[in-house]
Amino acid sequence: MAENLSPDQLDALKRIDSPTIANAVETFKIRPRVAGYVGYDIRCIFPDLPPTVGYAVTCTVDSTTEGRTGIGFNALYEILEKAPKPAIIVMQDVGNDRLHSCHAGEVMTTTMKRLGAVGILTDGGLRDVREVAALGGFQYFCAGLVVSHGNPLCVSVGDEVTISGMTVRTGDLLHGDVNGIVHIPDECAAGVADAAYATWTREGETMRRILSPDFKVEPGPEIKH
């Protein structure tokens, strides 16, 4: 993991929408364009919240397998307590029925928030939406909402996980909003905010040209996104 960003750097990222962050990361040419973000199977449950920025704390979880054993959620809480802040808990479902999985609700979320987490990202389910909304400032990114907690179990903590095709390691910097979640690579984390502001400038110029009364299609670079 690269050196943690300063509070000012993190605050700058929180003022930028996630699609612009994704565009800014592209300018560094570190990874393929179809990598480093989740797909549309992951929902943002509180779309009115500002962007969520935090360092991943990863774990694998199962709430649908009867009789399975694991290491327990206290192991997750202990690592979260010592992890860089703000933190985002990343929970990969490893059960046998992800459609009916549910990996956190009001009690676990309140515990995680007390320990410095600002959100959960999971490819499974979550619940207690109204109660979590009342906590304020805590975001849910998940496959959907599930009413019952089933048999909640933490299987492992700190492993590399995959959520909707996006590989996540503990310590990875994540940025998410109503549009989804993107991973900010360590190699460019310190420069992404400035690159995002430059992206806004370029897009603003393009939009002014499109909205101009003199606009017409001309040879040259395509207008995309």
Predicted pLDDT of residue 161: 98
Tell whether 1 is covered by a domain.
no
> How far is residue 93's CA from residue 59's CA, in Å, rounded to a whole number?
9
Tell whether 220 is covered by a domain.
no
Confirm whether pTM is higher than 0.95. Answer: no
Please give the torsion angle defined by the CA atoms of residues 178, 181, 185 and 186, in that order, rounded to the nearest 10 degrees.
Answer: 80
pLDDT, one tens digit per residue, over 173-219 is 999 999 999 999 999 999 999 999 998 888 888 788 888 888 888 77
For residue 152, count other CB atoms closer than 10 A to its CB. 17
Integer angstrom CA distances of residue 187 from 6, 96, 160: 15, 36, 19
Maximum pairwise Cα distance, the chain: 69
Tell whether 185 is covered by a domain.
yes
CB 85 within 8 A of CB 55: yes
Is 221 a residue whose pLDDT tops 80? no
* Domain containing residue 133: CATH number: 3.50.30.40
Query: Token pair of 175, please?
Result: 């940025």
pLDDT, one tens digit per residue, over 15-62 is 999 999 999 999 999 999 999 999 999 999 999 999 999 999 999 999
pLDDT, one tens digit per residue, over 121-173 is 999 999 999 999 999 999 999 999 999 999 999 999 999 999 999 999 999 99
Domain count, the chain: 1
Tell whether 196 is covered by a domain.
yes
CB 155 within 8 A of CB 70: yes
The enclosing H or E element of 176 equals strand 173-177
CB 25 within 8 A of CB 182: yes
Predicted pLDDT of residue 72: 95
Is 104 a residue whose pLDDT tops 80? yes
Integer angstrom CA distances of residue 223 from 60, 72, 201, 216: 41, 51, 15, 12
> How far is residue 102's CA from residue 128's CA, in Å, rounded to a whole number?
10
Residue with tokens 């962007």: 51
Predicted pLDDT of residue 93: 98
Tell whether 200 is covered by a domain.
yes
Per the prediction, the chain carries an average pLDDT of 95
Tell whether 224 is covered by a domain.
no
Per-residue confidence band for 1, with pLDDT thresholds at 50, 70 and 90? low
Rg (CA), the chain: 19
Range of the domain at 174: 7-211
> How far is residue 214's CA from residue 72's CA, in Å, rounded to a whole number?
64
Helices (H) and strands (E) in the chain, counts: 6, 12
Tell whether 93 is covered by a domain.
yes
First CA to last CA distance, the chain: 32
Tell whether 32 is covered by a domain.
yes
Looking at per-residue confidence, does 218 or 115 come out higher?
115
> How far is residue 184's CA from residue 174's CA, in Å, rounded to a whole number?
6
Predicted pLDDT of residue 216: 83
Predicted pLDDT of residue 3: 67
Cis peptide before 86 (omega within 30 of 0): yes
> How far is residue 157's CA from residue 136's CA, in Å, rounded to a whole number?
26
